[in-house]
Structure 1
Amino acid sequence: MANTPLMPKATAVWLVDNTSLSFDQIAAFCNLHPLEVKAIADGEAAQGIKGLDPIQTGQLTREEIERAQKSPSATLKLSVPKTRVPEAKRKGPRYTPVSRRQDRPNAIMWLVRNHPELKDAQIMRLVGTTKPTIEAIRERTHWNAANLTPSDPVTLGLCSQLELDLEVEKAARLALSPVEQPEEVATLLPVEDTTSEEAMAAASTKPAPKQPAEQEYAAAAVFAKLASLKKDKSDEDEGEGE
């Protein structure tokens, strides 16, 4: 139930042990029978259940408990959660009630006209249709094409505005970041003609890359040269000092 706390028996155990609320108040809050709450207080029920603090779980406030303790006729009110748990993603095609299935072609026509950037898979997720139906409506070959009227799927109750906005935003991102390079841009890029005589001659004059052994030899020569220069500098400094 929506107005029942999480783990009602464990919550009742904690309320019995830590508050002066009446059995009726605890029973009404935890959706239990007053005799069951009395059995918990007498140790005849819920013996192996550890009490759950509803204050720490955000289901009650200390002020709400104190208010109910002062008035035996008052009822505890479940706190409104501060966070919203996102709905679990559906697996498989969207289920559409039978009474609204006749509205799907109108919704598809609206999506095709107003959001041509949407992929068929996105339209299928939004209104729970099939790809052949989308193609038939797009190509005006649907059996009832003459009687179709574009209608917003959100207004028809086939999807939520948030779902529609997310799909449109996703389609826009894909359109702004193409995977392949346009042919027009590719034709403007300079292409090196490796078959021409000039290119072959230029390639022949380029020094060949050094092998690892040659690179090590060159590095050793550089270090030796630096050491020699450093020694000469040191000798000059000693001569000036004398």
Structure 2
Amino acid sequence: MPKATAVWLVENTSLSFKQIADFCNLHEVEVQGIADGEVAKGIKAYNPIIAGQLTREEIERSSKDVHRSLQLLKKELNISTKERKKPKYTPLSKRQDRPDAILWLIKKYPELLDAQIARLIGTTKNTVVSIKKRTYWNFNNLSPKDPIAINLCSQLDLENALEKAKRKIKREREKIEKEKMDSS
């Protein structure tokens, strides 16, 4: 793209060949060849203003001062590189405690969604649903156990899930109230 940018700068500005060459990382003779039509025949001009590389003011400032070089605009992108959370490995000895923890969460916090419980404990939604419906194959032998005490989830994760569930319930209540007000 440097040649396409140079073509545009030659055609649309009064910048010196040296300024254009420095900005586009080309040689002055090459920029002069572009201006004469000997180099870059058929290359479509690329507007650096539209591309966000330069501003009109920057071009005007450099046009007035031959010794001033063009400054490339610095785009400040705020890209967060949030790592995906890998599924937590649960040792074989603790896997048998998962259904007990699910039962504890269902009894203690009925407002939690099945998906939230599954995510907290590291199991499937089907397992959560079957325990909720009491159709789990080993339901009679389950005893509720605190998942934090048996290290299946952290207190912070549980609090975040509860907060999220409460916000959702609040939104749903407000929506129902709004619908009642609209229908009246």
TM-score (norm 1): 0.39
Within 5 Å, which residues of 2 pair with 1:73-222? 89-91=84-86, 93-178=87-172, 181-182=175-176, 186=180, 189-190=183-184
For 2:96 and 2:83, the matched residues in 1 are separated by 27
- The number of residues matched between the two structures is 103
Partner Cα distance (1:116, 1:124) in 2 = 14
User: In the alignment, which residue of structure 2 is the partner of 1:66?
Assistant: none
State the alpha-carbon separation in 2 of the partners of residues 162 and 184 from structure 1: 33
Is the CA contact (8 Å cut-off) linking 1:107 and 1:150 kept in structure 2? yes
**CA distance 1:169–1:158, change in 2 (3 Å):** same
User: What is the CA distance between 1:121 and its match in structure 2?
Assistant: 1.4
- The whole-number CA distance in structure 2 between the counterparts of 1:179 and 1:188 is 14
- Displacement of 1:124 after TM fit? 1.3
What residue identity is the alignment partner of 1:154?
I
The one-letter amino acid paired with 2:104 is: W
**Aligned letter for 1:90?**
K
Identity value in percent: 50
Return the letter of the residue paired with 2:98: R
CA RMSD after TM alignment: 2.5
Q: Which runs of 4+ in 1 moved over 4 A?
A: none
Q: Secondary structure at the match of 2:137?
A: coil
What does the per-residue CA deviation read over 1:184-225, in whole Å, with 9 as the maximum and x for residues that have no partner?
9527734xxxxxxxxxxxxxxxxxxxxxxxxxxxxxxxxxxx
Distance in 2 between the 1:131 and 1:95 partners? Answer: 17
| Contact 1:94–1:127 (Cα < 8 Å) also in 2 | no
**Cα deviation digits, residues 120-143 of structure 1 (max 9, x gap):** 111111111111111110011111
TM-score between the two structures when normalised by the length of structure 2: 0.50
Contact 1:117 1:171 in 2 (8 A): yes
What SS does structure 2 have at the residue aligned with 1:159? coil
CA distance in 2, matches of 1:177, 1:144: 36
If asked which structure has higher relative contact order (CA below 8 Å, sep 6+), I would say 2
Report if aligned partners of 1:120, 1:131 keep a CA contact under 8 Å in 2. Answer: yes
